Amino acid sequence: MERIQPASGALADAYIAGCRVGELRLQRCGHCGIHQFYPRIMCGSCLSDDLEWAAASGRGEILSFTVVRRPISKAYEAPYVVALIKLEEGPTLMSHVVDCASEAVAVGLTVRVKFARWSESITLPVFTLDSQRGSSS
């Protein structure tokens, strides 16, 4: 059984292509300057279509998290940490926090992106605790 794969689409595919080369891609608006995630056909703030892909720093903070004890399907090995990560650039995304005991995860901790294989062709961003920097809260 395979984990849930992201639905395909032109914008999603460009994002996944970034992940494949180790880049967490956000859209940056050439008109108002904001970064946005998820990708859209226009800027969600000012509606401009002057958007370009920009590689994010990959650093962020845990806005919230949960430890899933009862997995969504057999393809997921519980426990796993589902978290909302607020990126340095502003947008928030859902991801996993990996490579640590679930007890070590807390709201406000800083994290750093890494990339994980989801299937033959799909790589997605996940995050690890940034132990050098510790808690920012």
Partner 1 sequence: MSSLRGKVAIVGAADTRVGVVADRTATELCIESILLALADAGIGKEEVDGLVTCNSMAQPMLYHAEAIAEYLNIAPRYCFAAGAGGGTTFSVLHHAASAIVTGMADVVVVAMADSLRSGLTRDQAMLMQSSTGHPQYEQPYGPTVPAYYALIAQAHMARFGTLPEHFAEIAVACRAHAARNPAAQMRELITVDDVLNSRMIADPLHLLDCSLVSDGGAAIILTSAERARHFQHPPVYVLGMGEGHGHEHISQAADLTTSAARESGQRAYAMAGLRPADMDFAQLYDCFTPTVLVELEDLGFCAKGEGGAFVSEAGIGPGGRLPVNTHGGLLSHCHPGNPGSMFALTESVWQLRHTAGERQVDNARCGLLHAQGGIMSSHSTLILGKELG
Cβ 75 to partner 1 shortest distance, Å: 8
Which DSSP state fits 16?
H
Which residue's CB is nearer to partner 1, number 55 or number 67?
A: 67
Pick the stretch among 3-11, 20-28, 49-57, 128-136 that binds partner 1 (CB under 8 A).
Answer: 3-11
* CB-based contact 97:81 (threshold 8 Å): yes
Pick the stretch among 4-12, 18-26, 50-58, 128-136 that binds partner 1 (CB under 8 A).
Answer: 4-12
- Burial of 42 per CB tally in 10 Å (0-12, 13-18, 19+): middle
* Of residues 77, 70, 71, 66, the one with CA closest to residue 106: 66
Which residue's CB is nearer to partner 1, number 5 or number 48?
A: 5
Q: Write out the binding residues for partner 1, residues 79-108 only, by CB under 8 A.
A: 80, 82-84, 92-96, 102, 106-108
- Burial of 61 per CB tally in 10 Å (0-12, 13-18, 19+): buried
Pick the stretch among 21-29, 47-55, 72-80, 128-136 that binds partner 1 (CB under 8 A).
Answer: 72-80
* CB-based contact 28:57 (threshold 8 Å): no
Q: Classify 19 as helix, strand or coil.
A: helix
Which DSSP state fits 34?
-
Cβ 30 to partner 1 shortest distance, Å: 22
* Cα(55)–Cα(67) distance, integer angstroms: 29
123 binds partner 1 (CB under 8 A): no
Binding site for partner 1 (CB under 8 A): 3-7, 9, 12, 15, 37-38, 63-73, 75-76, 80, 82-84, 92-96, 102, 106-108, 118, 122, 124
